[in-house]
Structure 1
Amino acid sequence: MTTFPADDPDKAAFTGILPAAPKPYVLGNGEGEKSLVFDQLFTILASGDETDDQYGCWTMKARLGDRIPAHRHFKTHEFFYVVDGEITVWMDDESDYHSRTTLVTGDFAFVPANIVHAFKIENTTTVFGAGTAGFERFFHAIGQPTDLTEPQGVYIPDFPVMRAAGEKYWTQFMPEFQFRD
């Protein structure tokens, strides 16, 4: 079980936005649990609470930006589906798989657990993502709650906040990692 209790601080600020149980619901354009992480707007559309702890899904909207730090998720498989725009994704299994791929509208990338990865937004982009249940609120743990509907501004979490979020959501940040371009 990867879901967290209702009073978890990564959930409590968003109480009432999602149903917190597996029952039907509809979200309008721009609705969901939203956090600004760096210069990216993450909107959680479904969490482990709504999916019987099966998966979580979100959107990420961003403008042209810097590459986010290399990292790996120990328990989370995730994917990137480019709804609109362009994003470069780096993946490395620290053995024989090394890739740098620029995804454009309609492209898809799968990142299994334990694969070191990073991404860079190449222009204004919207990505639909999903991953192992529970991980979706990682974005709240390192981000700032917001009611924005488009990305604007920058929120840079302190490294202790990032480290704590990483520990809670089984993620290791690897800023020194060198991808083979």
Structure 2
Amino acid sequence: MELGIEIIKNDDGQTLGVAGGNYRIIASGDKTDNKYAVIEMIVPPGGGPPPHSHPDTHETFYVLEGEVEFQTEQGKSTVGAGGFITIPLGGAIHCFTNTSKSVAKLLCTVMPAGLEKVFELVGAPVGMGEFAPIPELTEDRRELMARIDRQYGQKTYPKGYLD
């Protein structure tokens, strides 16, 4: 696959309601020969994913605006604008929550691509500035998450697992 220069504007890309925030898929693995994907995450107060791990994915976050509380098995750390988090291959359990009173914005890169496909399966399309509620964790939703975890080689843990 031959890749050329591509310019993606600030309103390009699919935006999905995921984990209480808006995740805009800026660069999908479909366009990067599955080498990486880039996702912009707009996270309102209280938003953020549950604890999870993905052993075959290297994930990074750059905090563009606001701050999030990042949590791992080693503890919690508040990371503000300009901060950078890297989760290497291996499956470290991690999550983040916007514990502030204002919206946070993160730029997430995953290598190889694939995590954006998870977001497409669990998320719901939203318009700019709209925030979809976090879906209720019904038995059907649990089964869906378990299927996605198996399909994408990851594991999702309940909220509070790292406390």
TM over 0.5: yes
Distance between the aligned counterparts of 1:102 and 1:177, measured in 2? 17
Kept after mapping to 1: 8 A contact 2:52/2:94: yes
Cα distance change of structure 1 residues 177 and 121 upon mapping to structure 2, 3 Å threshold: closer
Distance between the aligned counterparts of 1:149 and 1:22, measured in 2? 29
Kept after mapping to 2: 8 A contact 1:21/1:49: no
> What is the identity, as a one-letter code, of the residue corresponding to 1:85?
G
Cα distance change of structure 1 residues 153 and 100 upon mapping to structure 2, 3 Å threshold: same
Cα distance change of structure 1 residues 128 and 135 upon mapping to structure 2, 3 Å threshold: same
Cα distance change of structure 1 residues 24 and 88 upon mapping to structure 2, 3 Å threshold: same
CA drift of 1:166 comes to: 1.6
Deviations 1:76-116 (A, max 9, x none): 11011101011111112xxxxx0311110010011123000
Alignment partner of 1:79 is 2:55: no
Distance between the aligned counterparts of 2:17 and 2:88, measured in 1? 25
Deviations 1:30-64 (A, max 9, x none): 32022111311111111222222211111010210
Q: 1:88 matched to which residue of 2?
A: 69
1:132-147 alignment, distance < 5 Å: 132=111, 133-146=113-126
Distance between the aligned counterparts of 1:149 and 1:21, measured in 2? 32
Distance between the aligned counterparts of 1:62 and 1:162, measured in 2? 21
Please, which runs of 5 or more residues in structure 1 have no aligned partner?
Answer: 1-19, 93-97
SS at match of 2:29: coil
Distance between the aligned counterparts of 1:24 and 1:159, measured in 2? 40
TM-score by length of 2: 0.84
Distance between the aligned counterparts of 1:77 and 1:154, measured in 2? 28
Q: 1:116 matched to which residue of 2?
A: 93
Alignment partner of 1:128 is 2:107: yes
CA drift of 1:26 comes to: 2.1
1:30 to 11, 29, 35: 11
Kept after mapping to 1: 8 A contact 2:19/2:48: no
Q: 2:51 matched to which residue of 1?
A: 70
Cα distance change of structure 1 residues 127 and 21 upon mapping to structure 2, 3 Å threshold: farther
Give me the CA root mean square deviation: 2.1
Aligned length: 155
Alignment partner of 1:105 is 2:84: no
